[in-house]
Structure 1
């Protein structure tokens, strides 16, 4: 299996970075091919602008969605976007790993999605969900939160799949990915927590059973 990990955390001594090493090493141990995109380490540019689309006439109005599709079709996207898209096309499974910040992913990862999932590459009119160009690939989230699991229940912070609905359904599923349940490291901010050990075990179990995990959405 070919696995692409898109990773966003600024600190190499973080829990997230340690979990990234667990995931990467275990995938390789099980003879899977792995590529890691470390967005902070690579100083990824988060914001869309006219430099992304090499066929855009400078000084004219930028239509981000339409112009991204035009540039993709013409082979005129910036080199960093082309490289990212090639990695997505290569992968059978994409893992998005990040700490949950304000009910979502870090802005750098959102910027990666904004710039890489261009029109005509990831979606187009009538080509979304199961008909999307990238359809058939699997994807799931590995994330960490600072509180215990019981906070993510009805009446508190919300069910975790509700929190991640805009990402899991509005982005991953829309782009054709088969979305597997998220893996969450709870109580990550507690010094007394065994979050690393528990989450590492769940990650390894997921890798061992990846072919049998049921997607969230039909």
Structure 2
């Protein structure tokens, strides 16, 4: 299988760097073909701006969505964007690996999503009508592909528990897993989360690699998170809210999982 690992950490000698190297070797040893987008090493430009389109008029008003759409359709996207889109087309599975910084992904990875997910490529596709509100949330250009997060945190696992001070990890990762991965159609696997990274000794690193290796071995056997599909009746259209009889009394992350 073809696997794209999008990696966001500025220090190659970090724990993240070691886990990335382990993951790549484990996947290759299993016979997979792996590409790595090491965003810091690539000097990836995080900001979505007018330079992302190569044929625009300098004095034109900048409309991010429409210019993304036109550049994608006309083949006038910045070359770095087009290369990453080609990697996504090629991949059977995508792994996003990053440290949890201020309750989200590093800005450079958010910028990768904003620039690579062009209008017409990852969103704005499919029929929009009173019965089908675009190909998204379980449908779309990434349908049939799998995705997984590999995330490190400095906090304890209990800090991210259902009653932990930081909030449940599934709620924190919801905008990424549901919004950035499930939205364009990926089957999203449960995340691999490493807590308390400042307390990583050799023995714990070994056990962490063993656990990560098992998750990578099971990449095509693990059941995805059962997010509800948008266009199969659970949501009213065009309001896109859950029907009253679906998950009554449940809200947030829990309401959108079957």
TM-score scaled by length of structure 2: 0.81
Deviations 1:26-78 (A, max 9, x none): 00000000000000001000001111012322211111112101110111101
Q: Is residue 182 of structure 2 the alignment partner of residue 173 of structure 1?
A: yes
Deviations 1:136-163 (A, max 9, x none): 1110100111122121112222221111
- Residue 194 of structure 1 and its aligned partner are, at CA, apart by 4.8
Match of 1:142 among 146, 150, 160: 150
Q: Map of 1:61-76 to 2, 5 A cutoff?
A: 61-76=61-76
Distance 1:33 1:146, change over 3 A: same
CA RMSD of aligned residues (A): 1.4
Distance 1:193 1:65, change over 3 A: farther
The match for 2:210 is 201
The match for 2:11 is 11
Work out whether residues 185 and 195 of structure 1, in 8 Å CA contact, stay in contact via their aligned partners in 2: no
Work out whether residues 139 and 183 of structure 2, in 8 Å CA contact, stay in contact via their aligned partners in 1: no
Secondary structure (helix, strand or coil) at the match of 1:54 reads coil
Work out whether residues 55 and 76 of structure 1, in 8 Å CA contact, stay in contact via their aligned partners in 2: yes
Work out whether residues 137 and 178 of structure 2, in 8 Å CA contact, stay in contact via their aligned partners in 1: no
Does 1 or 2 have the higher relative contact order (CA < 8 Å, sep 6+)?
A: 1
C-alpha distance in structure 1 between counterparts of 2:157 and 2:204, whole Å: 11
The total of aligned residue pairs comes to 218
Unaligned residue ranges in structure 1 (runs of 5+): none
**Higher CA-based Rg:** 2
Unaligned residue ranges in structure 2 (runs of 5+): 126-133, 228-258
Structure 1 stretch 189-198 or stretch 92-101: which is displaced more?
Answer: 189-198
Deviations 1:111-135 (A, max 9, x none): 0000001110111151222331121
Q: Which runs of 4+ in 1 moved over 3 A?
A: 191-195
Distance 1:45 1:185, change over 3 A: same
The match for 2:109 is 109
Secondary structure (helix, strand or coil) at the match of 2:149 reads strand
Structure 1 stretch 42-51 or stretch 123-132: which is displaced more?
Answer: 123-132
